[in-house]
Chain A
Amino acid sequence: MSIRPMVSALTRHRASVVILVLEIALTFAVVSNAFALIMQRVARLQLRTGLDDGSHLVYVNTAGTDRPDVGAIYATILDALQRIPGVLSAAAVNTVPFGPREGTAGFDLDSAGTHFGRVADFYYGAPGYLHVMGVRLIAGREFDSSAYRGFKVMPPSGGVIISQKLATLLWPGRNALGRSIWLGKEHHYQIIGIAASVLRPDPGYAGIEDAYDSLFLPAELGAPQTGSYVLRTDPARRQAVLHAAYAAIQRIDPRLVVDRDSSGSITDLRRAFEKNNRIMIGLLGGVIVALMLVTGLGIMGLTGFWVQQRTRQIGVRRALGARRVDILRYFQTENLLLATAGIALGCAAAIGINVWLMAHYAVPRLPVMYLPLGALLLWGLGQLAVLGPALRAARVAPTVAMRAA
């Protein structure tokens, strides 16, 4: 099929052609950027806790107590929690992945403080907490039982277990075991173990590339940072366990405040954390669908008008021997041409919008792959929208040419 007569026919509808190409271009630009934003949000839903069977865990966050017998109170509570049916094991901790931030600190790699390391989150817990949480050790060893000591703010020194991703970021290509980190001159810890990367408590606080910057320290029951609890449960009984835990704590010390908003199964905490992203994904998806619908209907309307306007010409072509399929192909090819022009223009607009967004917001570069994907989508949409009017054109009888004046 020759393109030339098609182009010359289109130049007779310059205004509508310009509008149609513009609409396809804008739709392409917005849809491909919206799609990139969706994928960015989806990446944020892919965070793994890094814990063995993390979904079996339930976290109970209390505000702690300042009673003098704090160690005994916590021990009583822990004992009661372990007796709850459905609880397999329990330990005192500060927080869990998707829980509240309880120990964010920046540290140095030397005592003089000249080599800044990173800002990371510290997990603390009383004996057994690594097992209850399901922290998997990759290299090195766990804490000795004597390492679980009391302290006022942070243990002054001792061993620390580090998340593998964090170790790689700090000492790429080298072994982290045996190295030390400093928090001022008074607090320094030697790395005795490397754990499979465990997610930070509030991964939204950091960028996604920093989400696994976590460390583990030991604490005696009753020390600061041991006022909350992690329970490994039979997953089917998570909700019952949670309510039994609230009741047990209330019974043992009615003055102890449990923060129910930040307590729950890790699955629930994760869902709450992800809610904003899910809403945004839904919204962006909705915009894409609405745009495709509006644009598709627009193409249908315009093509329908052209078909109507050219009824006589179609009749003439039919009378001169054109088959129905030729007419059909004509309108399909015409749409392909217009869509291609729109997509070419839209590519430039898509990149422009992306560059502008990147300059103003935390938006990643538009993956080049999305451009051909978006093109396929709009070509498909155009063909779908043009099908009805084109079929109508193909049904035009040759006699129309003669009937008309």
Chain B
Amino acid sequence: MRDIHGYYLRLALRSVARTPWISALMVLAIGLGIGACITTLTVYHLLSGDPLPQKSSRIFYPQVDPETSTFVRRDPPDLMDYTSAVDLWKSERADRQAVMTNSPLKILPTGAGTTAFDAPSLETTHDFFPMFDVPFQYGGPWSVADDTARAQVAVISKSLNDRLFGGGNSVGHMLPLAHGAVRIVGVLKHWRPAPMFFEVLAGRYSHGDTSGFYVKAPQVYLPFFTGMQLNAGHFQVFTCWKIPTDTVNLENQPCDWVSLWVQLDTAAKAQAYHRYLVDYSDQQRALGRFTHPTNVRLMDLMQWLAYNRVVPSDVHMQTILAWAFLAICLVNVAGLLLTKLLRRSSEYGVRRALGASRKAIFAQCLWEALVIGLLGGLLGLLLAVAGLWMVRQQPVAYADLAQPDPRMLALTVGLALLASVAFGLWPAWRASRISPAQQIKAP
């Protein structure tokens, strides 16, 4: 059996070599189609992935509607007001919980010739680090006590540590800020969650341009209440439902600007937490602080990402386009292969007359399709590597993520086989139907 297929393979290779131009055209078409598909699928896969695969189903994003304006949203706002977020955080009803907001933080390096710069920072609480499995190079997170004690401490990213301390162990060093310095207690390892899920919001207002969700992680992490003092006036606000009376100290302002993430280890706990959110919202309405009907959500991490349509619509469009391109290339190759096989009708006629079965002719023709498909796949792989290089040259936040990955190889082989069958099946079947008598009669 193996010998027979080895023979078919040799026949196929000979046939490919005999018609180099048509064969090259077929390989080129398959290669272009597969190259485009692998490139876009790799990007799509990277952008639609789970940023926290080991525990995303246990991470939740609570939402309440604290607004008091006449306009009532269908969905609760993407962030909470300070009071609600801190109330829920303090209640400690979840296995882990962290409040957070972000801001550009002014760093004042001390060396000669250095200039002040803004580093993206996250103001959060202790649980952020264990909840999101944040990897540390040196030191560790600040303590739970540091949260409420407004400790003047910080955790910094690898990139900032490289920039300011040459990559050395900077734990214990001071980080000079505009309003005093903070002591570094931890330095992260390289950490590049994609998307940067804990700052994903407002995706439905982005008109599909969501590449900003793939920016690099913050460079400075401050305890939430420390940050409130050190960087007031710079926090990212989602919206204010009334004009605030103060844009520096937002704690009592009618604005949505704080997010809360919680870890709930069982489904029962998630249900209980949802009930607790309803109770909290009802209680705040009874107190008169909330005026809108109770409208709470508790999406898990992947639901939240889907709700925000994190994968940019340009990437969707490119993926669709690549598939359409591949489909046309396959139809094209099917036409050429059919032509090529039928051109050799008399050869098959002779083989049939000499006793070859239809199955044998079919197998021989399919082998030829397979050879062309695999050659096309090989070319497609090279083109995909080039395609990803081109993606990396684009000015988008996710450019650095577009690296070839080993799964691509498997995907290419799979796609090449699938393509061969798709374009080879019909021509092979047609060739196997050739009646021997007629072909022998013909000149």
Chain A residues in the interface with B (C-beta under 8 A): 15-16, 19-20, 22-23, 26-27, 30, 34, 37, 63, 66, 113-114, 116, 152-154, 183-184, 186-187, 204-207, 224, 250, 254-257, 259, 272, 275-276, 279-280, 283-284, 287, 290-291, 294-295, 297-298, 301-302, 305, 308-309, 353, 357, 360-362, 404-405
B334 on interface, CB distance cutoff 8 Å: yes
**With A154-B243, A294-B328 given, is the CB distance from A63 to B118 under 8 Å?**
yes
B43 on interface, CB distance cutoff 8 Å: no
Contact with A257, one of B69, B71, B118, B339 (Cβ below 8 angstroms): B118
Apart from the given pairs A152-B245, A257-B104, A298-B29, 9 other A-B contacts in the complex at a CB distance below 8 Å:
A30-B324, A207-B207, A254-B116, A276-B314, A294-B29, A298-B335, A309-B343, A361-B317, A362-B313
Q: Are B335 and A255 in contact (CB under 8 A)?
A: no
**Can you list 16 A-B pairs, Cβ within 8 angstroms, ordered by A?**
A16-B335, A23-B335, A30-B324, A30-B325, A34-B321, A63-B106, A154-B243, A224-B247, A275-B395, A276-B209, A276-B394, A291-B325, A302-B336, A305-B343, A357-B320, A405-B443
**Which of chain A's residues have a CB closer than 8 A to the CB of B207?**
204-207, 362
Chain B: which residue is nearest A30 at the CB level?
A: B324
Q: Are A298 and B332 in contact (CB under 8 A)?
A: yes
A261 → chain B, closest Cβ, in Å?
10
**Which of chain A's residues have a CB closer than 8 A to the CB of B32?**
290, 294
Q: Are B324 and A26 in contact (CB under 8 A)?
A: yes
B403 on interface, CB distance cutoff 8 Å: no
Contact with B329, one of A154, A259, A294 (Cβ below 8 angstroms): A294
B140 on interface, CB distance cutoff 8 Å: no
Chain B: which residue is nearest A64 at the CB level?
A: B233
A205 to B203, CA, bound (A): 11
Contact with A301, one of B25, B69, B116, B329 (Cβ below 8 angstroms): B25
**Which of chain A's residues have a CB closer than 8 A to the CB of B208?**
361-362
Contact with B209, one of A184, A204, A255, A297 (Cβ below 8 angstroms): A204
A20 to B338, CA, bound (A): 11
**Which of chain B's residues have a CB closer than 8 A to the CB of A206?**
207
A37 to B313, CA, bound (A): 13
Q: Are A272 and B395 in contact (CB under 8 A)?
A: yes
**Which of chain B's residues have a CB closer than 8 A to the CB of A113?**
69-71
B225 on interface, CB distance cutoff 8 Å: no
**Which of chain B's residues have a CB closer than 8 A to the CB of A152?**
245-247
CB 8 Å contact bits of B13-38 with A (1 = contact, 0 = none):
00000000010010001001000100
A277 to B12, CA, bound (A): 45
B297 on interface, CB distance cutoff 8 Å: no
**With A207-B207, A284-B321 given, is the CB distance from A19 to B335 under 8 Å?**
yes
Taking residues whose C-beta sits less than 8 angstroms from the other chain, chain B's interface range is 35 or more
A204 to B207, CA, bound (A): 8
Contact with A361, one of B205, B316, B334, B336 (Cβ below 8 angstroms): B316
**Which of chain A's residues have a CB closer than 8 A to the CB of B321?**
30, 34, 283-284, 287
**Which of chain A's residues have a CB closer than 8 A to the CB of B108?**
255
**Which of chain B's residues have a CB closer than 8 A to the CB of A15?**
338, 426-427, 430
A318 to B22, CA, bound (A): 29
B440 → chain A, closest Cβ, in Å?
13
Q: Are B332 and A294 in contact (CB under 8 A)?
A: yes
**Which of chain A's residues have a CB closer than 8 A to the CB of B334?**
19
* Closest 3 A/B residue pairs (Cβ): A19-B335, A298-B332, A305-B339
**Which of chain B's residues have a CB closer than 8 A to the CB of A37?**
317
A301 to B331, CA, bound (A): 13
Chain A: which residue is nearest B71 at the CB level?
A: A116
A284 to B332, CA, bound (A): 20
B438 on interface, CB distance cutoff 8 Å: no
B396 on interface, CB distance cutoff 8 Å: yes
A184 to B443, CA, bound (A): 92
Contact with A114, one of B70, B211, B342 (Cβ below 8 angstroms): B70
Report B326-382 residues with CB < 8 Å from chain A CB. 327-329, 331-332, 334-336, 338-340, 342-343
**Which of chain A's residues have a CB closer than 8 A to the CB of B71?**
113, 116
**Which of chain B's residues have a CB closer than 8 A to the CB of A308?**
343
**With A15-B426, A66-B233, A287-B321 given, is the CB distance from A301 to B336 under 8 Å?**
yes
B7 on interface, CB distance cutoff 8 Å: no
A47 → chain B, closest Cβ, in Å?
14
A116 to B73, CA, bound (A): 14
Q: Are B325 and A16 in contact (CB under 8 A)?
A: no
A165 to B178, CA, bound (A): 43
B6 on interface, CB distance cutoff 8 Å: no
A78 to B245, CA, bound (A): 28
Q: Are B328 and A295 in contact (CB under 8 A)?
A: yes
B117 on interface, CB distance cutoff 8 Å: yes
A16 to B338, CA, bound (A): 7
B414 on interface, CB distance cutoff 8 Å: no
Q: Are A255 and B25 in contact (CB under 8 A)?
A: no
**Which of chain A's residues have a CB closer than 8 A to the CB of B242?**
184
**Which of chain B's residues have a CB closer than 8 A to the CB of A361?**
208, 313, 316-317
**Which of chain A's residues have a CB closer than 8 A to the CB of B430?**
15
Q: Are B69 and A297 in contact (CB under 8 A)?
A: no
A26 to B313, CA, bound (A): 23
A183 to B245, CA, bound (A): 13
Q: Are B178 and A255 in contact (CB under 8 A)?
A: yes
**Which of chain B's residues have a CB closer than 8 A to the CB of A283?**
318, 321
Chain A: which residue is nearest B29 at the CB level?
A: A294
B118 → chain A, closest Cβ, in Å?
5
B244 on interface, CB distance cutoff 8 Å: yes
**Which of chain A's residues have a CB closer than 8 A to the CB of B394?**
276, 279
**Which of chain A's residues have a CB closer than 8 A to the CB of B443?**
404-405
Interface centre among B25, B247, B317, B342 (most CB of A within 10 A): B317
A34 to B321, CA, bound (A): 8
Chain A: which residue is nearest B395 at the CB level?
A: A275
**Which of chain A's residues have a CB closer than 8 A to the CB of B115?**
250, 254
**Which of chain A's residues have a CB closer than 8 A to the CB of B104?**
63, 257
A357 to B427, CA, bound (A): 32
Q: Are B395 and A257 in contact (CB under 8 A)?
A: no
Q: Are A287 and B325 in contact (CB under 8 A)?
A: yes
A208 → chain B, closest Cβ, in Å?
9
**With A63-B118, A66-B233, A290-B325 given, is the CB distance from A16 to B106 under 8 Å?**
no
Report B214-269 residues with CB < 8 Å from chain A CB. 233-234, 242-248
CB 8 Å contact bits of B375-399 with A (1 = contact, 0 = none):
0000000000000000000111000
B219 → chain A, closest Cβ, in Å?
14
Interface centre among B104, B313, B331, B427 (most CB of A within 10 A): B331
B365 → chain A, closest Cβ, in Å?
13
A309 to B178, CA, bound (A): 83
A185 → chain B, closest Cβ, in Å?
9
Chain A: which residue is nearest B242 at the CB level?
A: A184
Interface centre among B313, B339, B443 (most CB of A within 10 A): B339
